[in-house]
Amino acid sequence: MNPRTIVLVSPHGFCAGVERAVEVAETLLRVYPKPVYCLREIVHNTQIIRDLAGRGLIFVDAVADIPEGSTVLFSAHGVSPAVRAAAEARRLAAIDATCPFVTKVHTEVKRYAAQGYTIFLIGHRAHDEVIGVAGEAPDRVIVVETEAEARAATVPDSARVAVMSQTTLSVDETARVLAVLRERFPRLRTPAESDICYATRNRQQAVRETAHCVDHFIILGARNSSNSNRLVEVALAEGCAATLVTTPAEVSALPLTGVATLGLTAGASTPEYVVTDTIDRLKALGFERLELLEVVKEDLHFALPRELKRE
């Protein structure tokens, strides 16, 4: 009998934006006087939040919760101009860990809004990234979550419409929503390159190409991690059983009897030690063999924000 196998699919885990955001937080904790505050989750991952909180980073939900004159860190998901203004009004020293891919979407929204366009923003309206981007031009941005919403949306001038998207969406679902908008608004302006970032696209491609070779896919990521949830959907759409797993201990409760080949990957904000701890747990459950499968090679890294570069 063949040994039960884990296929660890890459790319998995940290993307360039998360890597940078975590490094920014770690540098701040090392060199800035405490307390240092972080507005909302720096990235959507429970283990990272717990680790950074343990080292002294104070997470808050609103600028109003931060004492005047303190240091605040803006998360990888970005913030709206209203949040920046509120921070300034409290004389906060703001360090910005917004992912450059998210910043690019902010810039585009501002540009189109200044030209009088209505901007469709494909994304999840409760997600921090979408709240921040929409806040660039609240009167001009229409958030569209589904094809049905794209069919129902109305605009003041159908000749001046543009579309942007959240960076961590499903490539396939976004294409369907975009097709509806294109059909309804032939003069729709679209970004030269998709707003869905390289890390989201690569991880989805890796799962899509591997799903047919495994009996079950485990995706390691937080419940509120958009890109991790999309990976589960990609596997399911390929006809493969898939589960989002938030901690290594959870694998013991999964229905893996009869699974001979197990796919394993991790969302863009999952630390590598969660992956290795999960592999150890799975080995103890009888998955003796580990196979590494790299579908797409990644080598992107971002520089730290200017204020931290010499630290």
Contacting positions for ligand SF4 (CB under 6 A): 15-18, 76, 99, 101-102, 167-168, 197, 199-200, 227, 268
129 is catalytic: yes
Which residue has its beta carbon closest to ligand SF4? 17
* Alpha carbons 156 and 310: distance in angstroms, whole number: 49
Residue type for position 15: C
CB-CB contact of 29 with 37 (8 Å): no
How near is the Cβ of 199 to ligand SF4 at its closest, in Å?
Answer: 4
Q: Which of 113, 128, 63 lies closest to 91, judged by CA?
A: 63
Least distance from ligand SF4 to the Cβ atom of residue 30, Å? 22
Task: Give the pair of three-digit tokens for residue 271.
Answer: 């630390």
Catalytic pick among 41, 108, 129, 136: 129
Nearer to ligand SF4 among residue 163 and residue 251 (C-beta): 163
Q: Are 274 and 51 in contact (CB under 8 A)?
A: no
Q: Which is nearer to ligand SF4, 23 or 215 (CB)?
A: 23
Closest distance of CB 245 from ligand SF4, Å:
19
Closer to ligand SF4 by CB, 16 or 180: give it: 16
Sign of the alpha-carbon torsion through 193, 194, 197, 198 = negative
Q: How far is the CB of 43 from ligand SF4 (least distance, A)?
A: 7
Closest to ligand SF4 by CB, 70 vs 170, is 170
Q: How far is the CB of 78 from ligand SF4 (least distance, A)?
A: 9
Of 18 and 83, which CB lies nearer to ligand SF4 in the complex structure? 18
Which residue lies nearer to ligand SF4 by CB, 232 or 251? 232
Let me know: does 230 contact 122? Beta carbons within 8 Å: no
| Assigned token pair, 104 | 């690019």
**Stretch (H or E) spanning 58:** strand 57-60
Q: What residues contact residue 58 under an 8 Å CB cut-off, 6+ apart?
A: 35, 36, 37, 38
- Which residue type, as a one-letter code, is found at position 309? K
> In angstroms, what is the minimal distance from the CB of 274 to ligand SF4?
16
Q: Where are the beta strands (DSSP E) in 30-146?
A: 36-39, 57-60, 71-74, 93-96, 118-122, 141-144
> Left (φ > 0), alpha (ψ -120 to 50) or beta: where does 69 sit?
left
Taking the C-alpha atoms of residue 38 and residue 62, their distance in angstroms, rounded to an integer, is 9
Q: How many angstroms separate the CA atoms of 292 and 168, rounded? A: 25
Catalogue the active-site residues.
Answer: 129
